[in-house]
Structure 1
Amino acid sequence: MKKIVKSLLLVAFLGSFNACNDDEPPLPDNVAGFESAEKGFEGEETEVKITLSRAVDVATPISVSVTPTQLTYGNEFTTTPAVANNAIALSVPAGQSSASFKVTKKAGILLDGDESIAFKITSVGAPALVGTATDLKLSFKAIVSEGTSIQLNGIAGQEPGSSAANSVFLDLSSNTQTAVLRDSWDLGFYSGADFRVIINGTNGASALAVNKSDINAVTAADIVADSLAVGQGMGKLALVDDAKGDLSKTVIKEISASDADNKVYILNRKGGSATVLPADQLYKIRIVRKGTGYSVQYAKLNETTFKTVDVAKDAASNFEDISLEKGAAVDVEPAKDKWDLQWGYSMYYTNFGTGMIPYGFSDLVFTNRQANVEAAEVLTTTATYDAFAESNLAGITFSKDADAIGSKWRITSGGTVGVKTDRFYLIKDPAGNIYKLRFVSFHANDGGERGKPKLEYKLVKKGA
């Protein structure tokens, strides 16, 4: 009799458990859409991306119709994949949440600037659906956006997390975002008049100098590896670059015209959580000037010979970047006048009661300080986002600091995790355009997704 009672109780429990599962709300539709409704470009090639609400379990086809205005496919432009029957066939790979195609201008053609292409998502295969952001106008000239809503994609095929794999650069005037893997680069070389070098703070990098100028003479015996640890209460600000973007406060001192003055540095290329890579993954580097550019000597810490890579300055860029693992230049930032904000994980700083120390976390927003982008915070007690207009700009003080927005736009602890709704921001871009911008969501608590923040912005004043 006891066995029967136990069996009945077990059945009742399982039934109750399954009923609870049945009561769980279903996931919302997984929909596809363009990142913005309008985009412009001045170069020879641009990428157009279609994103899904979340990753798909199976390869998912997408069809995009192509309607050019004052252009003929094959004569003035081409696409990759190619257009067939006035459409582009794409596929989102299993495990991914986006697909893209490239539009390339034909070499040697002259355009008036009135040319454009209308793209429309016409079908999406199961398990996804066509969303609402189905149309994109691509103008064959630079545009000054009137504003849009956009979701940044910091996730690179992995599960969402606070430390997104991508850094995302956003250009407000062209409605363009550029995602770059944080782990793809190590050193950035300033293209301005000074000879300055940055380390990859978005990868939790840290570095320290060794009082030697012969890179082959430096070994693991010259440092205590744990002294490179930063984050989680460890380390000093002297091990990381200035969070405000001041190039006079980089770990690597200004590269001297006198070779003998340029010391060797030990680089922990990936850290941030009080971790240091094993000795066989630490790099020793020494940088000297070469003409108007740089020459980098580099090797693993205990190697007795070094390799060299030369870096030329490019006036179109803030920095030229290299990967030590590849031993070559890599593309990171867009052109210096083609981005305004950078979102992602980075080394920053905090105070645990003993003074400021380095601290790494995600959802930091930096402005493009080197291209003179400025920002200001406006509290809604002063003016609401919707009501703010050009007439409200009087008396606004803009900041040149790269961290003018930083982490001030959100809360990440306690029961109130989410976007702060009592403030928004003004962004002045390199062309003098001023946008108002507010964050919409970034966390499940505010209806968003960690690693894919949503924001919206609107032009307040057009540059001269």
Structure 2
Amino acid sequence: MLFRITALMLMLTTVFSACEKDDPPMADNLIQFEAADQGLGTDVNSKDITIKLSRNSDAAIPVTVELTETGVVYGTHYTTSPAAAAGIITLTIPAGSNSVSFNVTKKADILLNGDESVSFNIKAAGTPVGQTTKLKLSFGSIVSTGTSLELNGGEGGSSAVNHVFVDFSNNVQTAVNRKVYDLKFASGADWRVLLNNVAGWAAVKTNKTDINAVNEGDVTLASMQIGYGFGTLAMIDDVEGDITKNAMGEVSATESDNKVFLVSTAGATFTPPAITAIKKIRVLRNANGYTLQYADINATTFQTLTIEKNSAYNFRFASFATGVVSVEPAKDRWDIVWGWSFYKAFDDVTSKWIPYAYSDLVFSNRSGNVQAAEVLTSTVSYADFKESNIAAVTFDTRSDAIGAKWRLASQTGAGVYTDRFYVVKDGAGNVYKLKFVNFHPSDGGKRGYPNIEYKLVKKA
């Protein structure tokens, strides 16, 4: 018996060794910039520049970046962090990571014509370089002709920790942890407070105006449960992006009309949320924006936070833990956002639409006047779509114009639909065609890191 086991082990070892020898070598871990061109508009003071690897590295990767200036001088017109020495920035991609960033900041009170730029070149690296080894940063707004991007959803796979904003005209993506905030406050003419739909928060209204008088006796935890067939669409904000259909309604100019709301921060759950996940809030207007009163549900005192409106942004954001936080880029600095979010599904049992947690949703910047349309390749291919085809496109102003229609994700298979692409008109009127390349192992991608390609079709 011992001989047979030993012989079997030897045979298996031989087979595995043979397989290992026959395995193809792993592809080079290429290093490159996210894009070849980016802009630092007159209203933007700084920008993070990202250098990426094809995949996470087991070891730290040294990188040196060389600067070439056109019309600007280091230290006089701009600086970098880390600082450059003799025209070189020295960086390191940490072990276990696939990227590193450096910051470029314009000096205050300088006069520029808008045609100045700095070119960054990957001069040396501890790994082979890819195609995009140079990046030109213009000290003025640009209108990109298009590029390819891998969106940085971060860890979590189908429940990626980040939601990612993309600005086509500037070739910029902004990844933000989707649980960094709890509420968002409209900065325009509307007086509306919205929930964090991308984390799965929900709200119900009480009949009280005294926040200290509200406690767990005013709600059943089962009524706060949402997702996986529980809850109603009235507990979340409009999934098509109409802020006038928000869960908590308008913040009234008449203070006594503003009721206390209970907010669940438990997200989508199979069981009722814990009492510790329930917050109570009341929002009032003030001269410059909003006054937020908030506390744990059984607290007898509350905290107050002032959130000022800012017309450069669609919303201002607040966290119960950290106060006012930065989330969205300026309203004219993003076109689409990708990530996990509450959406809706049709329940055949009740014949009603219900809240449903979706991965890999894409929303357009409705408040920033971004519109989108789907085009089937049976009508015209992505490669052949040009300016003359725009007239036949019907743009959709709803934020879910793209939604989940670009990908299949089910137990029977997953991947990008290859029979369609999208056309996006940004707030300035530039028109781009957008193709989703992959997002899942089934189509050669990685969950949480979708790849997209877009090209300028018509400049505004």
> Would the aligned equivalents of 1:265 and 1:286 in 2 still touch at CA under 8 Å?
yes
Provide the secondary structure at the position in 2 that maps to 1:238: helix
State the partner residue of 1:76: 77
State the partner residue of 1:411: 408
State the partner residue of 2:358: 361
> Would the aligned equivalents of 2:144 and 2:456 in 1 still touch at CA under 8 Å?
yes
State the partner residue of 1:390: 387
Q: Per the alignment, do residues 417 and 110 of structure 1 end up closer, same or farther by CA in structure 2, a change over 3 Å counting?
A: same
Q: State the 1:28 CA deviation.
A: 2.7
State the partner residue of 1:195: 191
State the partner residue of 2:131: 132
Letter in 2 for 1:108: D
Q: State the 1:60 CA deviation.
A: 2.3
State the partner residue of 2:31: 32
> Would the aligned equivalents of 1:146 and 1:458 in 2 still touch at CA under 8 Å?
yes
> Would the aligned equivalents of 1:273 and 1:360 in 2 still touch at CA under 8 Å?
no
Asked if 1:436 corresponds to 2:438, the answer is no
> Would the aligned equivalents of 1:122 and 1:130 in 2 still touch at CA under 8 Å?
no
State the partner residue of 1:154: 153
State the partner residue of 1:45: 46
| TM alignment of 1:198-209, pairs within 5 A | 198-209=194-205
Mapped to 1, the partners of 2:278 and 2:20 lie a distance apart of 49
Show CA shifts across 1:51-93 (max 9, x none): 2222223332211111111111111111010001211111222
Letter in 1 for 2:130: G
State the partner residue of 1:234: 230
Indicate the larger mover: 16-25 or 103-112. 16-25
Mapped to 1, the partners of 2:230 and 2:128 lie a distance apart of 47
Q: Per the alignment, do residues 150 and 275 of structure 1 end up closer, same or farther by CA in structure 2, a change over 3 Å counting?
A: farther
Indicate the larger mover: 283-292 or 181-190. 283-292
Percent identity over the alignment is: 49
Provide the secondary structure at the position in 2 that maps to 1:183: coil
- Count of aligned residue pairs for this structure pair: 456
Q: Per the alignment, do residues 95 and 228 of structure 1 end up closer, same or farther by CA in structure 2, a change over 3 Å counting?
A: farther
> Would the aligned equivalents of 1:280 and 1:302 in 2 still touch at CA under 8 Å?
no
Letter in 1 for 2:110: I
| TM alignment of 1:259-338, pairs within 5 A | 259-274=255-270, 277-326=273-322, 328-338=323-333
Mapped to 1, the partners of 2:67 and 2:325 lie a distance apart of 32
State the partner residue of 1:142: 141
> Would the aligned equivalents of 2:266 and 2:274 in 1 still touch at CA under 8 Å?
no
Mind listing any 5+ residue stretches in structure 2 that lack a counterpart? none
Mapped to 2, the partners of 1:421 and 1:317 lie a distance apart of 35
| TM alignment of 1:417-432, pairs within 5 A | 417-432=414-429
Show CA shifts across 1:216-238 (max 9, x none): 11111211113222222221111
Mapped to 2, the partners of 1:9 and 1:97 lie a distance apart of 41
Residue 185 of structure 1: which of 181, 196, 203 is its match? 181
Give the TM-score of the pair, scaled to structure 2.
0.96
Show CA shifts across 1:144-181 (max 9, x none): 111111111111xx3x5011111100011111111111
Mapped to 2, the partners of 1:380 and 1:131 lie a distance apart of 30
Indicate the larger mover: 223-232 or 18-27. 18-27
Asked if 1:105 corresponds to 2:133, the answer is no
> Would the aligned equivalents of 2:162 and 2:175 in 1 still touch at CA under 8 Å?
yes
Q: State the 1:277 CA deviation.
A: 4.4
Mapped to 1, the partners of 2:226 and 2:215 lie a distance apart of 21
